[in-house]
């Protein structure tokens, strides 16, 4: 029984010693990051490329799929309810699609979908290339 208690005591001592060292090792300090010229050139090229990019992967909400007359009716109804939102009508013969929004994430599109579904019950979120919003 004594050997069991001794082993248990030693184990607790070692664990407390290690945890004390880990806590003491976390100190504040300064970190200086140096990068080579080749890395800086790559970053500069990527930034220049991004300035010329007009489309990125994102999401839109499709509120209508069907006839031309239905598409224009859906557009008018949507513009009345959401006058500032982006909207586009596309023709994929013989059908027409009305898609709205430029959402960078699916979460943002899903949040908007909740509000849009109140008036457009068949609305769905679709992955699509969206227009880049420049600040």
Give the model's pLDDT for residue 45.
Answer: 87
Give the model's pLDDT for residue 135.
Answer: 55
Please confirm whether the linkage preceding 94 is cis (ω < 30° from 0).
Answer: yes
Give the model's pLDDT for residue 2.
Answer: 55
Q: How confident is the model at residue 66 (pLDDT cuts 50, 70, 90)?
A: very high
* Domain spans of the chain, in order of start: 55-131
pLDDT tens for 72-107 read 999 999 999 999 999 999 999 999 999 999 999 999
Give the model's pLDDT for residue 38.
Answer: 87
Contact (Cβ atoms closer than 8 angstroms) between residue 131 and residue 101:
no
Among residues 16, 20, 14, the alpha carbon closest in space to that of 6 is found at: 14
**Does the global pTM surpass 0.85?**
no
pLDDT tens for 38-54 read 888 888 888 887 777 77
Other Cβ atoms within 10 Å of 123 Cβ, number: 22
Give the model's pLDDT for residue 115.
Answer: 95
CATH of domain 55-131: 3.30.70.120
Other Cβ atoms within 10 Å of 117 Cβ, number: 14
Task: Report the DSSP pairing between strands 95-103 and 124-131.
Answer: unpaired
- Full DSSP string of 12-31: HHHHHHHHHHHHHH------
Distance of alpha carbon 29 from alpha carbon 122, whole angstroms:
56
92 bridge partner residues: 95
pLDDT tens for 105-115 read 999 999 999 99
Give the model's pLDDT for residue 113.
Answer: 96
Contacts of 61 by beta carbon, 8 Å cutoff, 6+ apart: 99, 100, 101, 103, 109, 112, 113, 116, 123, 124, 125, 126
Give the model's pLDDT for residue 21.
Answer: 56
Give the model's pLDDT for residue 44.
Answer: 87
């Amino acid at each position: 029984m004594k050997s069991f208690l001794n082993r248990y005591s030693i184990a607790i001592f070692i664990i407390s010693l290690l945890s004390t060292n880990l806590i003491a090792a976390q100190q504040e300090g300064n970190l200086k990051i140096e990068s080579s010229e080749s890395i800086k050139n790559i970053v500069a090229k990527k930034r220049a490329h991004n300035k010329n990019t007009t489309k990125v992967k994102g999401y839109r909400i499709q509120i209508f799929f069907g006839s031309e007359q239905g598409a224009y009716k859906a557009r008018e109804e949507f513009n009345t309810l959401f006058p500032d939102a982006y909207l586009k009508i596309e023709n994929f013969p013989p059908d027409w699609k009305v898609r709205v929004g430029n959402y960078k994430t699916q979460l943002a599109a899903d949040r908007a979908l909740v509000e849009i579904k109140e008036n457009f019950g068949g609305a769905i979120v679709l992955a699509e290339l969206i227009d880049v919003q420049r600040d």
